[in-house]
Amino acid sequence: MNDRGLPVEELLNVKRVLLMDTLSTIHVGNGALLENTIKLCNEAFGPCEIHIITTDIETNKLRYDKLHNSMFGTFASGRGRIGKIAWLVKEAFFIFLQIANELTVRFSSRRLAFNDDQKNAIRAIEDCDVCVSCGGEVLLDTYFKTLPFWLFTYWLAIRKHKTFILFPQSVGPLKKRWTRALVRLALKNATLLVGRDKPSCETLSSLGFHQKQVMYAPDVAIFQEAGTCDVHSCFSDRNKKVVGVTVSRPPFHEMGAEVDLVSGIGAQIEKLSPSEFKVLIMPSNYIRDGISTDYALCLQLKDRLLSRFETAILENRPWFPDEYTAMLEGLEFFISTRMHVTILATTVGIPAIAINTQHKIRGYMENIKMEQFCLEYDEIGRIFELSQEIISNRVAISDELKKANASLKKEYEPFIRKLREISP
């Protein structure tokens, strides 16, 4: 036996898995992706040594070790116009140098690194057995500014003959010719590419990847387990039922419209009975210093509802997914503009009314056969109507959600088998 509690022969077979694109777990959805990706890796490969490349070591180190800074840091964020141009030129030259080296003489990649973060990230790639993309939504036009940089890291791992797996995530919309071409080129030799909904799988197939490379599996967050939290601790009155709500600033360019979510959702909540319900506002995206855009919008909603309801808002701090899910468990129902916290609610049987602020949200609601509770912007006026349907049939809807979650977990069996087949 050793300090990890494993027999020596098992220790020799432990897979070293590198999660390549972990964003900050200060965003509850990112935390759910990270926590449950690790869980599935351990299930498929046996006990793993997990290494994590992340854009936010400070938050992630509260839960995880073996952390590495991203090769490109936090990209060009926080820089002025000249600073962004200088950063882009420098990083583009680094990428060009690495690609030229890999295609020709193949000197040590680390020797061609410009800084310690790049050197350490390259070492992490070289030392691992399996490279995993778990970013959730990297391959889409919405994030075209960072797409080439993430694709380079994937390409480098594949070029170094690592088993590269795109864990279940949203792929697309990819409508720009150059983004489609770049994704196709970077990932053409990937081991496995997994879409978490039908449109994502269709996008991958449309890019010309081999049929054996592409498969479907639901979002990993369906495996999220709840911790221990008391939702009523936020209030003075423990008797009223709790309605949870989160609002966010959606990517308007993806959905092609703008909408005042605070006013629209607030007006619908105000139709509920204040003698029966209280409201917990649950931001799901935070920042380390100050308040995030999500939190600011949630504060606006709180101010609007305070005159009618006992209203509370989650503390402005990082909420890990098990904590957040535990709070969700105590709700009567949940109104959400973000996908992963919608998944967390429905996973523990809490009815959710989802606003389709991104295409992926409808994809998930269709997966659990609850698309009737997914509203487009012009349908926000139906929230109260749907809330009455939930209140009248809550037990039955909750039971259906639990069955749907069990069914989705069953759909993971082919994915787990595939991971075991391709295990190096």
Superfamily of domain 231-407: Glycogen Phosphorylase B; (3.40.50.2000)
Q: How confident is the model at residue 252 (pLDDT cuts 50, 70, 90)?
A: low
Most confident of 77-81, 283-287, 331-335, 376-380: 331-335
The pTM score is: 0.92
Q: What percentage of the chain exceeds 70 in pLDDT?
A: 96
CATH number (3.40.50.1000, 3.40.50.300, 3.40.50.11930, 3.30.1340.30) of 8-217 reads 3.40.50.11930
pLDDT in tens, 223-243: 999 999 999 999 988 899 999
Show me where the domains of the chain are located.
8-217, 231-407
- Average pLDDT for the chain: 93
Structure tokens at 47: 């006990």
pLDDT in tens, 380-413: 999 999 999 999 999 999 999 999 999 999 999 9
pLDDT in tens, 167-216: 999 999 999 999 999 999 999 999 999 999 889 999 999 999 999 999 99
- Do the domains at 8-217 and 231-407 have one common CATH topology? yes
- What are residue 2's phi and psi, to 5 degrees? -135, -175
